[in-house]
Amino acid sequence: MLVVGGRGYLGRRVVRTLALCDGLDVVAGGRGTDPAIDLLRPDTFVGLDGFDLVINCADSVVAPPDAAAAHVLTHGGVWIETSADAATSQRLLALKAANPVGHVIVGAGLSPGLSTMLGRYVADLASPCTRVDLGVRMSPLSGAGRGSCRLAMARLDSVSPEPSDPSPLPIAYPDVGARDSIATESADTALVRRAAGVSDATSHIALRPASLRRALAAVQWLDERVGPLRSALRGLLHGALVVLRTVVLRPLGTPVQLTAIANAGAADETTRSLAFNDARDAHAMGIAAVVLLWQELEPPAPGIALSAGLFGLDEALLRLSRSGLPPPALVDPHRLSPPQEP
C-alpha cells in the first residue's frame, strides 16, 4: 500500500503504525519519493497504479485529492481518504465515474473515522434514533503539522464560541463529567447523518483548558471588527499558530476523548465514549482499523463508500486488539465503567 504524504507530520505516524501490523507492505509516497505523487499534477497519477490501497495523508486544503481519487475510481484500486476537511469529504462523496472499477473510502482516521463509527454505534443502540450529538474534547496546545494548522484556520468561521441556545447540551466525557461545548460544522456532521441514517447530527468541540473558549471568542470578536485588516489578522494568526504548533509544541501530544449521544434529552438517550492517550496515535489507529478490516471484507461494488458504513465500531476495536494495537475501552461516561454490550 502507498501512503501519500507518508513523510509528513501525521503521515509518518500512520506509516509507523501500519508497519507494526503483520502482512502489510507499506510505502511512504509524496512529491519527492519514488514513485513521485503530486496531487496537483495528474501526470503523476500513473504512480498510483499497481498499489492495492492508497491512503491519503496529504494536506487536503492545499492539495485537494479529488482528481487522484477519481483516477483510482476509474483505473482500479482503493483510495482511503483521511482528511478532516468537511468540504473535501463532501466533494469525494459526490465523485462520479461512468464505469468505476475502483473504490473510494471516505472518513478514515480519528475524526472523522472512529468518531463517525461511534456516532453510528449509539444510533444503532437507541434505534429508532432521530438525533446524534458528537463531542470531541482535546487541546489545540499540542504538536501539529502545517496541514492541521491550515485546517484549524479554515474551520474558524464554522465555530460558534457563544452557543445561541441559552441551555447548551452538556456533554459528558470519561473521568471529567460534563463540559461546555462549541458547536462546529465538521466533516463528521454530514458523515454521521449518512452512516447512522439520521436527519439531525451536530458536532461539538470541548477545548482543554476550558479558558481557551474565551480566547477563541475574543479572536472571533476582533476578526469581525477589523474590516479591511481582516486578511492581515488572519495571516498573523495563522503564522503564530504554525510557529506554536509545528515548532514550539511539536513534540507534545494531546489526550482526546470522544462522546456520542443518541436522542439527547429523550427517555432512551444513549451515550458512549472513547478516550485515547494521544490524538496522533488515535488517528493512525483509526486508519489501521479500516485497512485491516478492508483486507477481510468481501469487496462491495466499485464506487464511493463511508468507512463507518462498511465497518462497525465493535469490529474495528476488536480488529485493532487482534493486531496488537491496544484499542480504547468503550464506556458509558455516566457510569465510568465499560458497558456490558453483546
Let me know if residue 332 belongs to a domain.
no
Q: What pLDDT is attached to residue 335?
A: 77
- Mean pLDDT on 191-200: 93
Let me know if residue 247 belongs to a domain.
yes
Q: What pLDDT is attached to residue 46?
A: 94
190 and 270 in one domain?
yes
Backbone angles phi, psi at 123, to 5 degrees: -65, -40
Residue-wise pLDDT for 134-184, tens only, equals 999 998 889 888 888 888 777 665 554 444 444 456 899 987 888 887 888
268 and 162 in one domain?
yes
Let me know if residue 338 belongs to a domain.
no
Q: What pLDDT is attached to residue 157?
A: 57
Average pLDDT of the chain, as a whole number = 88
169 and 100 in one domain?
no
Strand order in the sheet with 27-29: 27-29, 2-4, 53-56, 78-81, 103-106, 303-306
Q: State which residues form the domain around 287.
A: 2-110+280-322
- The CATH number covering residue 297 comes to 3.40.50.720
Residue-wise pLDDT for 221-276, tens only, equals 777 777 777 778 778 888 988 898 899 988 888 999 999 999 998 999 999 999 99
Q: What pLDDT is attached to residue 339?
A: 55
The verdict on pTM exceeding 0.85 is: yes
Residue-wise pLDDT for 272-327, tens only, equals 999 999 999 999 999 999 999 999 999 899 999 999 999 999 999 999 999 988 88
Distance of CA 277 to the CA centre of its chain: 16
